[in-house]
A and B are shown apart, each in its own frame.
Chain A
Amino acid sequence: MSNRLADGGLIDRGRRLRFRFDGRGYEGFQGDTLASALLANGARLVGRSFKYHRPRGVFAAGVEEPNALVTLLGQGRREPNARATTTELYDGLVAESQNRWPALSVDLMAVNGLLAPLLPAGFYYKTLFGGPGWRFFEPWVRRAAGLGKGSTAPDLDRYDHKYAHCEVLVVGAGPAGLAAALQAADGGERVMLVEQEPRVGGSLLWDRRTLDGRDGPAWAEAQAQALAAMDNVTLLRRTSAFGYYDDNLVALVERRTDHLAAAPAFTTRQRVWWVRAKRVVLATGAIEQPLLFPDNDRPGVMLAGAARAYLNRWAVKLGSRAVVYTNNDTAYACALDLAAAGIEVAALVDLRPAPDGPWPARLAEAGIALLAGHRLVGCRGGQSVHGVEAAPVNGGAAKPLGCDLVAVSGGWAPAVHLHAQAGGRLGYDEALGAYRPGPVRQAHESVGAATGMFELGQITGATVDDGDASPVGPGVEPAPGKVFVDLADDVTAADVELAQREGYRSVEHLKRYTTLGMGADQGKTSNLAGQSLSAKARAESNAAVGYPSFRPPYAPVTIGALAGADVGLRFVPQRRTALDDWHRRHGAIFVDAGHWRRPRAYLRNGETLEDAYVREAAHVRQSVGIADISTLGKIDIQGPDSLELLQRVYVNDFASLKVGRARYGLMLREDGLAGDDGTTARLGEHHYLMTTTTGHAEHTLSRLEYHLAVDWPELRCVVTSVTEQWAAIAVAGPSSRDLLREVLDGVDLDDVPFLAVADVTLDGVACRLFRISYSGELAYELHLPAGFAEAAWTRLLSAGDGLGVAPYGMEAMGALRIEKGHVTHAEMNGQTGAADLGLGRMAKAAKPHVGRAMSQRPALTDAERPALIGLVPTDGTTDFKGGMHLLREADVTPAPSLPVDSLGHVTSWSYSPALGMPIALALLNGGLAANDGATVYAHDPMGGRVVRARVVSPHFYDPKGERQRG
C-alpha cells in the first residue's frame, strides 16, 4: 500500500485484506472500497473507455463513477460492470479489468483512438450499410461495444423481496437525512432511514467538518446510534433507493452479503424492499460536476470531492503534486486537504477572475498558489496524467503545471433523480448551473444538498464550524481538443457540437444520437455539461435545452434482485391435485394445464409416450380406466335465481333440467365466440354445480361474479368456487359400473341413468357420482372431498384388480375424446363459434344469453367459415400432426406457387385404438356440410410432410352414443 497515508481515514488498519486485480495480488484495509484500495496501491489504470479504449482511472468516489467498472469473479460467480468505487473490499476479492485486449496496459483495441476522426457520434448511421452490408459489419461493431463479459451460468446466489410500510421514509443518511430522520422519529411515527453507503454521514465522511464539537463522522455515528435506539426507526445501510413509483412506493435494494468474504447461510445476497411511505424525505445530497478541458479523461484527473474522500476517508495519498481546478469555493478545501496530507499543490486554478470570501485567504495562508481567471487548456500524460496547461480565460499564454493529480470541481448538482421519477418538476438554477427540485406531484420533499442548500448549520441545527462553502460558480467554454463530456460512453464536446450542427436539436435527440448519459452511470457527471454545451451551440439557455427524462433505477440494480425469490422452478407456483404424489410415484409424466400439472401418461417399463397412451386408451374401451380430473373448475351456484343465471350465461336451455340431472352447457363470450363449456348438475331446487374447463375455471368464475355484481345485481344468487374442495375421478369403460359397484354404497347403480347425479358413499365418505362420459364409454365422474382422493383412488385400483383397471392420463383422454369428436381448447381456441364446433343446435334455444347478439354477425354466420370435421388418412396409416394445414391437391405439388390459401388446419390428432389408425379433428372451410367425403391434403411444410386424407364426421366412434348410455 505504497500510497497510503500514515494515519487518518475511516479504515481499520488492524484488518488487512488481500485481493487480486488483473491477476496481481494487493492488500487493503477493512473499510476500503476496491477503488480506494487500488489507489492506495498506486494502481491508477483501472479500465479502458467504451469506444476509444483510452486508459481510464478512478474519477469519483461513489455511484456516479463513470470509469472504474470492473468484473468481479470468484466462487463460481461473475459480475461484469461492478463499480470499483462502491465495491467494498473483502478478503479474497478477485477482480479484473474490462474492455481491453489483450491486457489493460497494452490494449490493442486502442487503435480505435487513432481512428477517432472516423468515428464521430453516430458514424454508424452514415456507413457500414454499403458493400458487404450491416450483416458483415455488425458482429465487429458488437464485439467492440459492450463492457464486461457476462456469464450464462446459473446464479449461485439467491435474492428476496420485502414489503415495508412507514410514515416517513428518509433517503440518504448524510447530515440532512440524519437530522430529518431524528426529527421525524421524535413524534413516534414509523421512520425508515436508508443509506446506500456502508456508513452513515454522507459528505461528513470526507468534508472534515465539526458539528456540536464533534468531527463529522463521529457526529453522524452518534445520530445513527440515537436513531437505532428508537424502536420506531429502521436504519438500513448498504441500501439504495432506486425507484420512486406511484402512491409513494419507493423501491430499495439492500446489498446484504456483497461486502462479505463468505455469506452467512440462509441469507440472500440482495433484497429489494417495496416501501410504502406516507411521506418521503429525499436527502440524497448533491453530485459533483466536472469542468471540461482537453484530454480531461487521463487517469489522475478526478472530482475534487472524490479526491477529498480518498484522502480523508480512505487515507490514500493520491499523488505527489496536484492541481486543483474549480469554478466554485468547495474545491478550496480540497487544495487545503491535499496540502495537509503532504501533497504539493502546484496551483488552484479558478475560473473566476476574482474569487472572494474566506477561501482565497485560507489558500494563501497555506501557501498555495491561486491562478484566478484561468482555465485548463491541456492535459498531458498517458496511462497517468503528467501535467496540465492553464491559461487565462480571456486568452493569453498557457502555462504548464507539472502534476500527477488533477482535482476538478464544476460545482454540485442536487441529486434530483428520485424527485423527478416521482413526477416532481425541476427548475434550472443558472447560478448553480444545475437543476433544483420544483413542485411535486406526490408526498415528498427534498432537503439539504439535494435542494442546492449547502449550509450545514441550517441543515442540521447543530453548531458548526466555519467550513461552509458555496457550490455556485460560472460555466466554462472548453478549450479546443479532445474534450470528454461523458466518460462512460466516450462522448466528446465535438460530438455534442456535431449533433447540434446536424440538427439533432432536442435534448432527447442529443442523448440518443451521441449516447450522452446512456452509459452505466446514466450521465450523473455528464448530462449537465453536455446540455450546457448544447445550449451554448444553440445560443439558448440551459432551461430551453431541457433534460431527458429521469428513469429508474437511480443506479443499476442486479436483475436477479429485481426478480426475487420466485424464479426457476418457482417462477409460476405449481398447483397440485390431491393425487399428484400418487401420479409422481407411479411413473406419470406431467403436462402443464394452467398452473396445474396433470399426468400425461403413466409410462411402464420401456414404453414410449405413444405406447403408453394407446395402451391406456384401449384399456378404457375394453375394460375400465380411472383418471384424475380434479382440475376441472367447479362452481357451486345457489339462490333463488340460480337458474336464471344459468339461462343467461349458457347458450342452451337449463330450465328443463331436473334435480338430480346434469347437462352439457356451452358459454359464449360477449363477442359471440365460444368461451367455455362443461357440465352443470342440478343438485337441489336452487342449487347447481357447474363444471368448467381447467384452463377457463378462474376466468369463468370471475365472469359469473362480474355479471352478478355489474350486469344483473338483481339476481339473488351466489357463486362459490369448490374446485379445491372436491377431487374428481373419472371412471370410464364397459366395466366401470362393475367397479363402482364394488366400492360405492348408498346407491343402486342401475338407477343412475346417463346424465344422472347421485349422492353416494365410499368407505363412509360422502361423495357425488355423476354419470357423465367424456370418453364415450359407460362412464362416471366421482367427486369426493380432496383429502380422501388418494384413499379412494387406491381403493378403486385394488377393487378393480380383477376387472383390469388402470389409470389413464391426458394423452389417452385426448385419444378417447378425439374418437368421440369432443372439442377442447384446441378447437375452442377463441376463433370459433358454436356452429363452427358443431354445437350450433344448442344455441337454437329462443332465449337471450351472453354472446347471442354478436354471434349473429355476418362473418360469424357465414357458411364458408371453418368448422369442425374429422380426418382419416386415405392410406389408413400415416400420422397427422397438430398444426398441419389443409390444402387442395394442386397446392401440394413440389413447387406450388406461393402464397397458397390454407383451407383449414388440424387441431388435434391421435392414433385411435378403436379405429386402429390415426385420426384427426380439424377446422375446415365450410365444414362437413361442404366437404363430407372430400379428399384434402394435410400439409406440414416445416416438417416436409403431406398426408392425403378423407373428410369424415368428427364423431369417429359410436356416433349414436349407445355405449355411454349402456
Chain B
Amino acid sequence: MRYSAWSLLREAFGGHRGWSRVWRDPEPQARYDIVIVGAGGHGLATAYYLAKNHGVRSIAVLEKGWLGGGNTGRNTTIVRSNYLLPENNRFYEWSLQLWEGLSQDLNFNVMFSQRGVVMLAHGPDQVDALTRRGNSMRLNGIDAEWLDRQAMQDFVPQLDYSDQARFPIAGGLLQPRGGTARHDAVAWGFARAADSLGVDIIQNCEVTGFNIQGGRVRGLDTTRGYISCEKVGLAVAGHTGHLAGLAGLRLPIESHVLQACVSEPVKPMFDTVVSFGRGHFYVSQSDKGGMVFGGDLDGYNSYAQRGNLPMMSHVAAAGVSMFPGLSRLKLLRHWGGIMDMTMDGSPIITESPVGGLYINGGWCYGGFKATPGSGWVFAHTLATGKPHPLNEPFTLDRFRTGHLLNEGGGGPVPNVH
C-alpha cells in the first residue's frame, strides 16, 4: 500500500488494520542470480537499484541479524558532500542528490533534513584547509559557503564565542544542503521498496563461508543453508575484513569502534550540524529532541559493538567546551559501531580478485551519507561487471599504484583518518 496522508487518514478510520507488511519474511531459495551480503543501508540500496535500474529479478539480501542493525542503525546520520578530493566530492554529491528525492522515490519518509553542516575552523591553517575544501566543492558544483566568526555567531549562537574557548572559532565551512536523516527509516524504506520489487530479504541468516571454484564464487554457506548464485556483493561494513578473509582475501581494511551517544530529549535548541574537528566532536539534534553526538575512533582494532568510558568522557569534554549548553543535559545512552577503516580513509567499491565477488566497504566514519549513491554505483558494478564512472577511483588497486584518495593526508594507519 502506498503511503500518503490519505492512506493514513483512511487507516485512521479503520483502526490501522489495513496496512500491508513492510517486507516479507521469505525462506531462502536454493539459488539467486545475485546475493548481497549485509542488509544495512548499502546492501538494501544495492538490491533496490539492481531491481529498479537494472531489472535484475533474482536477488537476495542476507543479513546475519536484523536488517538495519549494523552501522546504519547506529550512526549519527550526517549527510553531506563536503569533500576535498574531486573523486570523493563528486561521488558524495551524486549521493546527496539522490537523498534529495529519496523519500518520494521510496515512498517512505526518511526525514532528510537539510539543516546545513558546518565544519569549524580555528587557527589560520584550518581556515586555509577548509577554504581549499570549500573551493573544491564549488568547482564541482557543490554548495559551500564560508562563514566568518561573526557569521558563525549568527548562524550557531549556541557555541562558545567567549574568552573561555580553548580553540576560539575563526570561521566555518557551511554546506547548506547537508543535514541529517532518520537512519532506521533509510534501511526500512529501502527494504520495503526492494521487497516490493521482489527482492528476498533474509534476516537471521549469517554467511559463514564462500564456495569458490576455479577462481569464481559459486555460492555461499549460511546459517540457513547453502545458497548458490552467480554473483555476490559484500556490503557488510565493519565485517568486510572478516568476510573477505573467509573468501581468502586480505584487504587494506581494519575494523575499529566508533562511538556515539544521545541525550535525553529536549525542545529544539540546536538547528544545524556542527563538527568541531580540533576537538574530535560533532553534534546535531534528532527530531525526537535528543542531542546526538560523537567523536573519534577508539584507536585500536575492535569488533566490540559497544562503547567505553574514556572516549565518552573525552567526547563530553569536547562537547561542553564548544557547546556549553550541553553540560546540564543528561546523557541517555551510548553505544558503538564497527567501522570498516581503509588505509586512506576512502571507500572501496569494486570487483575483487575472486570472480563474481564484488566488494563495497571501507566506509570509515562516513558511509551513511553514501547509502543511496553507494547502492546506485554498486548495483551498476554488479549488474554490468564494470564500475560506474563514479566508483572507478574506488579500487583496491589504488593502494598498490599509489593513487590514494587521502583527504586528510594521514598515513597508512586507519586511526588517523
Residue ranges of A at the interface with B (Cβ–Cβ < 8 Å):
50, 77-81, 117-118, 120, 123-131, 134-135, 138-139, 141-143, 145-155, 157, 161, 243, 245-246, 249, 251, 272, 274, 494, 498, 501-506, 508-509, 512-513, 515, 518-520, 522, 549, 551-553, 556-560, 562-564, 566-572, 574, 591-592, 669-673, 675, 825-826, 829-831, 854, 857-860, 881-885, 887, 891, 898-902, 905, 907-908, 939-943
Cβ B108 vs Cβ A272 within 8 A: no
Interface-side segment among B47-55, B208-216, B317-325 = B317-325
**Known interface pairs A522-B332, A563-B316. Does A902 touch B86 (Cβ–Cβ under 8 Å)?**
yes
Cβ A591 vs Cβ B141 within 8 A: no
Q: List 7 A-B contacts (CB under 8 A).
A: A551-B334, A552-B333, A559-B326, A671-B411, A881-B128, A900-B139, A941-B144
**Known interface pairs A146-B288, A508-B66, A520-B332. Does A859 touch B401 (Cβ–Cβ under 8 Å)?**
yes
**Known interface pairs A505-B25, A522-B332, A559-B329. Does A566 touch B128 (Cβ–Cβ under 8 Å)?**
no
- The minimal Cβ–Cβ distance linking A107 to chain B, given in whole angstroms, is 14
- The minimal Cβ–Cβ distance linking B208 to chain A, given in whole angstroms, is 20
**Besides the known contacts A129-B110, A146-B288, A672-B402, 14 further A-B residue pairs in the complex with CB atoms under 8 A apart:** A126-B3, A127-B4, A142-B285, A145-B287, A151-B328, A551-B334, A567-B321, A830-B409, A831-B406, A860-B402, A882-B124, A883-B129, A899-B140, A942-B145
Task: Please measure, in the bound complex, the distance between the C-alpha atom of A506 and the C-alpha atom of B188, giving whole angstroms.
Answer: 13
- The minimal Cβ–Cβ distance linking B93 to chain A, given in whole angstroms, is 9
Cβ A155 vs Cβ B327 within 8 A: yes
Q: CB-CB < 8 A to B122: which residues of A? A: 592
- The minimal Cβ–Cβ distance linking B162 to chain A, given in whole angstroms, is 8
Choose one: A118, A125, A898; the contact of B108 (CB below 8 Å). Answer: A125
- The minimal Cβ–Cβ distance linking A446 to chain B, given in whole angstroms, is 20
Q: CB-CB < 8 A to B7: which residues of A? A: 126
Cβ A134 vs Cβ B166 within 8 A: no
Task: Please measure, in the bound complex, the distance between the C-alpha atom of A130 and the C-alpha atom of B326, giving whole angstroms.
Answer: 34
Q: CB-CB < 8 A to A563: which residues of B? A: 313, 316-317, 319-321, 327
Task: Please measure, in the bound complex, the distance between the C-alpha atom of A513 and the C-alpha atom of B185, giving whole angstroms.
Answer: 9
- The minimal Cβ–Cβ distance linking A145 to chain B, given in whole angstroms, is 5
Say if the beta carbon of B23 comes within 8 Å of chain A.
yes
Task: Please measure, in the bound complex, the distance between the C-alpha atom of A520 and the C-alpha atom of B266, giving whole angstroms.
Answer: 11
Q: CB-CB < 8 A to B307: which residues of A? A: 551-552
Cβ B321 vs Cβ A125 within 8 A: no
Say if the beta carbon of B64 comes within 8 Å of chain A.
no
- The minimal Cβ–Cβ distance linking B415 to chain A, given in whole angstroms, is 13
Q: CB-CB < 8 A to B25: which residues of A? A: 503, 505
Task: Please measure, in the bound complex, the distance between the C-alpha atom of A591 and the C-alpha atom of B126, giving whole angstroms.
Answer: 12
Cβ A502 vs Cβ B19 within 8 A: yes
Q: Which residue of B lies closest to A510 (CB)?
A: B66
**Known interface pairs A508-B69, A568-B165. Does A124 touch B111 (Cβ–Cβ under 8 Å)?**
yes
Choose one: A556, A671, A675, A905; the contact of B330 (CB below 8 Å). Answer: A556
Q: Which residue of B lies closest to A891 (CB)?
A: B139
Cβ B21 vs Cβ A501 within 8 A: yes
- The minimal Cβ–Cβ distance linking A265 to chain B, given in whole angstroms, is 20
Q: Which residue of B lies closest to A78 (CB)?
A: B328
- The minimal Cβ–Cβ distance linking A900 to chain B, given in whole angstroms, is 4
Q: How many residues does chain B have at the interface if contact means C-beta atoms less than 8 Å apart?
A: 119
Cβ B109 vs Cβ A129 within 8 A: yes
Choose one: B16, B108, B127; the contact of A120 (CB below 8 Å). Answer: B16
Say if the beta carbon of B289 comes within 8 Å of chain A.
yes
Q: CB-CB < 8 A to B164: which residues of A? A: 154, 568-569
Cβ A557 vs Cβ B265 within 8 A: no
Residue ranges of B at the interface with A (Cβ–Cβ < 8 Å):
3-5, 7-9, 11-13, 15-17, 19-25, 65-66, 68-69, 73, 86, 90, 103-104, 108-114, 122-125, 127-136, 138-141, 144-146, 157-158, 160, 162, 164-167, 182, 184-185, 188-189, 203, 263-269, 279, 285, 287-289, 306-309, 312-313, 316-321, 323-335, 398, 400-404, 406, 408-412
Task: Please measure, in the bound complex, the distance between the C-alpha atom of A942 and the C-alpha atom of B12, giving whole angstroms.
Answer: 50
Cβ B134 vs Cβ A942 within 8 A: yes
- The minimal Cβ–Cβ distance linking A600 to chain B, given in whole angstroms, is 8
Task: Please measure, in the bound complex, the distance between the C-alpha atom of A612 and the C-alpha atom of B337, giving whole angstroms.
Answer: 49
Task: Please measure, in the bound complex, the distance between the C-alpha atom of A117 and the C-alpha atom of B269, giving whole angstroms.
Answer: 29
Q: CB-CB < 8 A to B128: which residues of A? A: 826, 881-883, 907-908
Cβ A559 vs Cβ B316 within 8 A: yes
- The minimal Cβ–Cβ distance linking A789 to chain B, given in whole angstroms, is 24
Q: CB-CB < 8 A to A549: which residues of B? A: 335
Task: Please measure, in the bound complex, the distance between the C-alpha atom of A672 and the C-alpha atom of B308, giving whole angstroms.
Answer: 35
Cβ B3 vs Cβ A127 within 8 A: yes
Q: Which residue of B lies closest to A674 (CB)?
A: B409
Cβ B125 vs Cβ A826 within 8 A: yes
Q: Which residue of B lies closest to A509 (CB)?
A: B66
Cβ B131 vs Cβ A940 within 8 A: yes
Cβ B203 vs Cβ A506 within 8 A: yes
Choose one: A274, A553, A673; the contact of B331 (CB below 8 Å). Answer: A553
Task: Please measure, in the bound complex, the distance between the C-alpha atom of A391 and the C-alpha atom of B108, giving whole angstroms.
Answer: 42
Q: CB-CB < 8 A to A857: which residues of B? A: 400-402
Q: CB-CB < 8 A to A670: which residues of B? A: 411-412
- The minimal Cβ–Cβ distance linking B30 to chain A, given in whole angstroms, is 24
- The minimal Cβ–Cβ distance linking A684 to chain B, given in whole angstroms, is 32
- The minimal Cβ–Cβ distance linking A669 to chain B, given in whole angstroms, is 4
Task: Please measure, in the bound complex, the distance between the C-alpha atom of A604 and the C-alpha atom of B67, giving whole angstroms.
Answer: 64
Cβ B136 vs Cβ A885 within 8 A: yes
Q: CB-CB < 8 A to B112: which residues of A? A: 134
Cβ A567 vs Cβ B141 within 8 A: no
Cβ B3 vs Cβ A146 within 8 A: no
Q: Which residue of B lies closest to A71 (CB)?
A: B266
Task: Please measure, in the bound complex, the distance between the C-alpha atom of A940 and the C-alpha atom of B127, giving whole angstroms.
Answer: 13
- The minimal Cβ–Cβ distance linking A243 to chain B, given in whole angstroms, is 6
Cβ B316 vs Cβ A885 within 8 A: no
Q: CB-CB < 8 A to B408: which residues of A? A: 830
Cβ A941 vs Cβ B138 within 8 A: yes
Cβ A901 vs Cβ B86 within 8 A: yes
Cβ B324 vs Cβ A153 within 8 A: yes
**Known interface pairs A145-B287, A671-B412. Does A898 touch B141 (Cβ–Cβ under 8 Å)?**
yes
Q: CB-CB < 8 A to A149: which residues of B? A: 266-267, 269
Task: Please measure, in the bound complex, the distance between the C-alpha atom of A135 and the C-alpha atom of B326, giving whole angstroms.
Answer: 26
7 A-B pairs with the lowest CB-CB distances in the bound complex, closest first: A830-B409, A883-B131, A882-B128, A146-B289, A859-B402, A857-B402, A560-B327
Q: Which residue of B lies closest to A571 (CB)?
A: B321
Cβ A559 vs Cβ B265 within 8 A: no
Task: Please measure, in the bound complex, the distance between the C-alpha atom of A939 and the C-alpha atom of B127, giving whole angstroms.
Answer: 16
- The minimal Cβ–Cβ distance linking B63 to chain A, given in whole angstroms, is 10
The residue in B123, B132, B409 that gathers the most chain A C-beta atoms within 10 A of its C-beta is: B132
Q: Which residue of B lies closest to A884 (CB)?
A: B135
Cβ A152 vs Cβ B325 within 8 A: yes
- The minimal Cβ–Cβ distance linking A90 to chain B, given in whole angstroms, is 17
Q: CB-CB < 8 A to A124: which residues of B? A: 109, 111
Task: Please measure, in the bound complex, the distance between the C-alpha atom of A560 and the C-alpha atom of B4, giving whole angstroms.
Answer: 43
Q: CB-CB < 8 A to A513: which residues of B? A: 184, 188
Task: Please measure, in the bound complex, the distance between the C-alpha atom of A952 and the C-alpha atom of B42, giving whole angstroms.
Answer: 48
- The minimal Cβ–Cβ distance linking B245 to chain A, given in whole angstroms, is 23
- The minimal Cβ–Cβ distance linking B53 to chain A, given in whole angstroms, is 22
Task: Please measure, in the bound complex, the distance between the C-alpha atom of A467 and the C-alpha atom of B359, giving whole angstroms.
Answer: 64
Cβ B317 vs Cβ A245 within 8 A: no
- The minimal Cβ–Cβ distance linking B311 to chain A, given in whole angstroms, is 11
Cβ B325 vs Cβ A245 within 8 A: no
Q: CB-CB < 8 A to A50: which residues of B? A: 265
Cβ B333 vs Cβ A153 within 8 A: no
Q: Which residue of A lies closest to B267 (CB)?
A: A146
Q: CB-CB < 8 A to A123: which residues of B? A: 8
**Known interface pairs A126-B109, A520-B265, A567-B317. Does A498 touch B19 (Cβ–Cβ under 8 Å)?**
yes
Q: CB-CB < 8 A to A129: which residues of B? A: 103-104, 108-111
Cβ B264 vs Cβ A80 within 8 A: yes
Q: CB-CB < 8 A to A885: which residues of B? A: 132, 135-136, 139
Q: Which residue of B lies closest to A883 (CB)?
A: B131
Task: Please measure, in the bound complex, the distance between the C-alpha atom of A784 and the C-alpha atom of B167, giving whole angstroms.
Answer: 30
Q: Which residue of B lies closest to A862 (CB)?
A: B402
Task: Please measure, in the bound complex, the distance between the C-alpha atom of A569 and the C-alpha atom of B332, giving whole angstroms.
Answer: 26
Q: CB-CB < 8 A to A566: which residues of B? A: 317
